[in-house]
Structure 1
Amino acid sequence: MALVRQRAARRMAGCLALAAVAVATPSWAQWGGLPAPALPTLPSGLTDRLPLTRDGLIPNSLDRLLQAPARLDGLVRRSHGALQADPLGWPVVSGEIVAVDLSPEARARALAAGYSVLREEPLEALGLTATVLAPPRRLSLSRAVDRLREIAPDAEIAFNHVHSPAGMTGVGATGGPVATGPQAINARLGLIDTGIDVTHPAFTASGVSQRGFAGPARVGAHGTAVASLMVGRSGAFSGGAPGQNILVADIYGGDPAGGTSTGLAQALAWMVEQRVTVVNVSLVGPRNALVERAVAGAQARGVTLVAAVGNDGPAAPPLYPASYEGVVGVTAVSARDRTLPEAARGPQVDFAAPGADMAAAGSAGSWTTVRGSSFAAPIVAGLLSRNGGGAGAVTALANSAADLGEPGRDPVYGAGLVGTGSRVAPAGMGARGRLSR
């Protein structure tokens, strides 16, 4: 895509530059309304493959850029042992290691070294196979990952990271199993999130098919709000693609260990099988080998992925999947069309869209007030779907965007602001309550 073709060369520079900004001018991060400072020019050819452990291309002094935000500590604590932290603090499933395309020979060596296979997860639609292994006894998960990389140097080895809804720490289900409604026929829009409440008036005009990838699909507040901003239509309220059919992949299922890398990859494979053209992922996490391969596999099969850039502040490290090459990253603006102070910045930002001071579908047929990049991304996904998805739709949307901030593309607003027609004042919908992030 034209908007993201040069992202790989720029992302490392942006990450290092933001580190310099954070050290030199810490107060800048508190003021989302100020223009971003000029980023220093760094040598060309720098890689964007940021390591997830301490032995990599980034010096140890910059490890803090890659560390998990402190808000995720509570997620691990509340999991009652289902989750633990990787060496940089990112939540991972306890006792699970993911190997992508593990050869029979490497598998045999791993078994001989004390690893055991928990399950095989073939992802034929993406051209991948994921093998989930348990570490040997008396070997920590982190050390077991390092050891397996030595045993199987040709495979890609990763933790089974957990993704959170664009900065939101409490995902839990807000209802029981999802209800059955009109099924999605020939849906071209997909959502990877929690399950949604199809009985909400916002979805009356849309067919919805849901599938669970962490047990049975369950209604969730986050997914319901996000989906309404993709396809919802009710009175004054209108999502990015009002009335379109949608496929929903619930990768949480009310499970404290939901939102895993393996679940996200399975959901993407399902979307490819169903011939979806645009998929919204309002979730964030660290770089993960399985998810990166799954994203690339989906893109190679014609899927346009849209993702929220996150809400951990302008000096935060790049979050994924928004920062993977080719993914359309979306930031959020307020009712005054100013970027939110908590919104991420950098070369991963392709578009800005409304993400605060507006209504979205809430519980029990109500409307709620939302804030965060989670709720900007689905608007962009809907707009791209209306134009068929693909590079042409991205270019057309960029050409229609309202330029904000510095002239031309910038790391705060990307190509500019789109989707303002989906911003409905909460008072106009009788909204109650507030859903952040």
Structure 2
Amino acid sequence: MKTALAGWTAALLLAAATPVCAQIGLPQTPGLPALPSGVTDRLPAVGRADALGRETLDRALQAPSRLTGLVRRSGGALEADPNGWPVAAAEIVAVDLSEAARAEALRAGFTVVREDRLEALDLAAVVLAPPRRLSLARAVERLKALDPAAEVTFNHIHSPAGIETAAPGSAGPAPPGPQGLGARLGLIDTGVEATHPALTGSAIIQRGFAGPPRLGAHGTAVASLMVGRSGAFSGADPGGSLLVADIYGGQSTGGSSTGLASALAWMVEQRVRVVNISLVGPRNPLVERAVARAQSRGVVIVAAAGNDGPAASALYPAAYDGVVGVSAVNSRNQILPESGRGPQVDFAAPGADMAAAGQAGSWTSVRGSSFAAPLVAGLLARRGGGPASVEALARSATDRGARGRDPVYGQGLVGADLRVAPAAVGARGRLSR
């Protein structure tokens, strides 16, 4: 079972370890600095593990100021939970809060911000703001005391402090695309550039869950690896239809737990068979329950294992039970040094030394488990989705590492033939994740 708890210390290492960036950068977060020019996405050779470890540790010591800065630059839109994870400021999420506890909370000064009723998941949550002069952490504890049976948590932001290195994380509005699409694949990420040559052959619907959908470099690259097709380039399910849920919308509070849960409900409503989530965050009761409800309705959820390194705690949603977690390999089919490992890994797939769609019709080189997961999602969709597709993919996997299932390659390597070298499409930029 995937029961390991996420730790922010691992994310610190990820955010600080040059030259690898986080799983996904917060798109266009106000005040987010750009990386200096000339940043490369290449790591030292595996043989230099000692030097790499020292460098990562040294830089991790500098990370707290960066993470504090991320919250500070949000203009008050973000806070940090007791473990250091970014959360939406002044928002507490309660699932199954009793009417008696709710009434008592209102009398104590809590206010209702909104109510999210996710009919497709048979799930409802109320978002409350704490009383004045009561910290968010203390407010969460007070609500838990009012109703110990309820799930009370923070509205976590799903993404470490990453920065886009090849292009801005969010550009202009994304067109919604055609309606009434029967797609078997779904993507929860940023918006995508549906007019990119790799994606014009696919029917794409986009919907925003943090305001109108906006173009994003990360989502565009991931989408191309799922359904893209253009010349020498091909994704795992080329030409397939795709539903895109943008849970960022260029907002500082984008990537929230409530947004992710709402996006999953939409995927269920649209009867999507396989959903890819190349995002990471801590364990969150609302998201965990939404994932379980979506799975019970036949949706296969694929998620990136993260890029925090072999010693890191498991990240979510990849570590939730039943989610297909994916680690990443390089062009020699060796696991990336930074790729997440553990019982949450079900498959390994190419995640480096390969091309993907960039912004404004360009091509870029990508690195990280963010880009391995969509290949697995596309392969599962081609097999029809559902548990049977996962079993079929496992039978086709190439065993690597320790014999049988292992925490590095999971059930084995898949999609090795799907890697398209950057030179094949004339990629000029690099998108490091």
DSSP 3-state at the match of 1:249: strand
Percent of residue pairs bearing the same amino acid type: 69
**Quick one: which amino acid aligns to residue 400 of structure 2?**
L
Match of 1:239? 235
Q: What are the superposed Cα offsets for residues 182-203 of structure 1, whole Å, 9 maximum, x if unpaired?
A: 5572101000000000110111
- Give the 5 Å matches for 1:256-335: 256-335=252-331
The equivalent residue for 1:56 is none
Report the AA paired with residue 126 of structure 1.
Answer: L
Please give the alpha-carbon distance, in whole angstroms, between the structure 2 residues aligned to 1:398 and 1:222. 27
Please report the RMSD computed on the Cα atoms of aligned residues, expressed in angstroms: 2.2
Q: In structure 2, what residue type is equivalent to 1:107?
A: R
Task: Report how many aligned residue pairs link the two structures.
Answer: 383
What corresponds to 2:36 in structure 1? Answer: none
Who is 1:253 aligned against?
249
Question: Aligned pair 1:425/2:421, yes or no?
Answer: yes
C-alpha distance in 2, partners of 1:172/1:110? 42
Amino acid at match of 1:290: L
Query: Which secondary structure state, in structure 2, belongs to the residue aligned with residue 325 of structure 1?
Result: coil
DSSP-derived class of the 1:350 partner: strand
Picking from 152, 159, 167, the partner of 1:164 is: 159
TM-score by length of 1: 0.84
Q: 1:361–1:184: structure 2 CA closer, same or farther, 3 Å change rule?
A: farther
What residue in structure 1 maps to residue 73 of structure 2? 78
The residue number in structure 2 matching 1:348 is 344
One-letter identity of the residue aligned with 1:168: G
1:133-172 matched pairs, under 5 angstroms? 133-164=128-159, 168-170=162-164
Q: Note the C-alpha offset of 1:436.
A: 1.2
Which shows bigger deviation, 178-187 or 120-129? 178-187
**In structure 2, distance between residues paired with 1:421 and 1:404:** 16
Within 1, Cα distance between the matches of 2:287 and 2:281? 10
Flag structure 1 segments of 5+ consecutive residues without an equivalent: 1-6, 23-29, 35-68
CA shift digits 1:388-433 (9 cap, x unpaired) = 1111110110110111111111000101111122211101101121
TM-score by length of 2: 0.84
Q: 2:238 and 2:267 mapped to 1: Cα distance?
A: 20
Amino acid at match of 2:156: H
Partner residue of 2:120? 125
Counterpart residue number, 2:366: 370
CA contact (8 A) 1:282 1:308 kept: yes
2:32 aligned residue: none
Q: Residue deviations 1:51-97, cap 9 Å, x none?
A: xxxxxxxxxxxxxxxxxx85644432321211011001000001000
SS class of match (2:115): strand
Q: Which residue of 1 aligns with 2:38?
A: none
Which of 393, 399, 413 in structure 2 is aligned with 1:397? 393
The one-letter amino acid paired with 2:242 is I
Offset at 1:180?
A: 5.1
Note if contact 2:221-2:357 (Cα within 8 Å) is conserved in structure 1: yes
Look up the match of 2:211: 215
Q: Name 1:106's counterpart in structure 2.
A: 101
- SS of the equivalent of 2:201 reads coil
Contact 1:184 1:207 in 2 (8 A): no
Q: Which consecutive residues of structure 2, in runs of 5 or more, have no partner in the other structure?
A: 14-42, 48-62
Distance change >3 Å, CA 128–CA 304, structure 1 → 2: same
Distance in 1 between the 2:67 and 2:234 partners? 33
Report the CA distance between 1:174 and its aligned residue: 3.2
Give the conservation status (yes or no) of the 8 Å contact 1:168–1:436: no
CA drift of 1:101 comes to 1.8
Tell me: CA distance 1:213–1:172, structure 2 relative to 1, closer, same or farther (3 Å).
Answer: farther
Shift of 1:179: 2.9
SS for the counterpart of 1:347 is coil
Give, as a single letter, the amino acid of the residue that structure 2 aligns with 1:380. V
